[in-house]
Amino acid sequence: MVKCITTIEQLHAELNQAYLDHKTIGLVPTMGALHQGHASLIQASSKENDITVVSVFVNPTQFGPNEDFDKYPRTLEADLKLAANNNATIVFAPDIDTLYPSKDPSYLEVLGNVSEVLCAKSRPIHFRGVCTIVAKLFNVVRPTRAYFGQKDAQQVLIIKRMVKDFFIPVELRVMPIIREQDGLALSSRNKYLTNEQRTQALVLSQSLKHVANRFAQGERNVKTLVSEARKIIEQSPIAKIDYVEILALDELEAIDTIENKALMALAVYFGSTRLIDNIILE
């Protein structure tokens, strides 16, 4: 039976003996509304660690003033069941005051190109909030390993930089994107979509699949691949493109030709719901 813990003191009381016994601890940071993508992270952690902690916390500092913080789905009861069914040990579900105890909170921010492109252009405070909360969770849980999904590719790259630059003793494990049978990447925000919007959103995975095929056939010109992907997305009359880009890994530099490993990433609105997806080209 998974334990639901809401305070740092309770969490440390549960984990202190594990620290003393040098047991491995896996952390799966989430904002709740758990789905099978999260389940895959929890399963991986439970296989590789003695203890798995799943954090459930809708982090206010990564939402802009006109974003969906207030309506973001909060489904703790269902999240506890999913965590238990996938062998989590603890669900850590603190309130805002627990993780932001100061009236004027401090922030941690990764600088440079990796945090200025893609999602950062339209969500300028987002990754500052992500780095801040992930660093807090690393300090609170002190995990051996932490598990993230490749769907949040830019977030993963920024957290890798944070871990490197601040010498944080944690191993990052990046797990594959989990998709529905029709190709749609699993996301907590999929719950916002109407049936029509969900059907239209399939152009995202279709465009990525097309680019992967063209890359496999030998196409390396970035403008060509991006143009072809945009044309597929624009076949949906309700799709509003935020960005479709191909950038070099791992610093997300702009390139004209794919010579080494590259990330193709996109963000598209269907109604008011913004969906992201990506593939790695190598």
Q: DSSP per residue over 121-150, as a string?
A: HH-TTHHHHHHHHHHHHHHHH--SEEEEEG
Size (the chain), residues:
282
Residue 32 pLDDT: 97
Q: What is the pTM of this model?
A: 0.96
| 122 in Cβ contact with 266 (< 8 Å) | no
Q: Which of 176, 170, 166 is CA-nearest to residue 26? A: 170
For residue 177, report the phi and psi dihedrals to the nearest 5 degrees: -65, 135
Cis peptide before 95 (omega within 30 of 0): no
The residues that are catalytic are 38
Identity of the amino acid at 169: P
Residue 1 pLDDT: 84
The separation between CA 142 and the C-alpha centre of its own chain, rounded to angstroms, equals 20
Residue 265 pLDDT: 98
Residue 66 pLDDT: 87
Residue 58 has pLDDT above 90, yes or no: yes
For residue 277, report the phi and psi dihedrals to the nearest 5 degrees: -160, 165
Identity of the amino acid at 1: M
Quickly state the pLDDT bin for 211 (edges 50, 70, 90). very high
Domains assigned to the chain: 3-175 (3.40.50.620), 188-281 (3.30.1300.10)
Residue 93 has pLDDT above 90, yes or no: yes
**Terminal alpha carbon distance of the chain:** 42
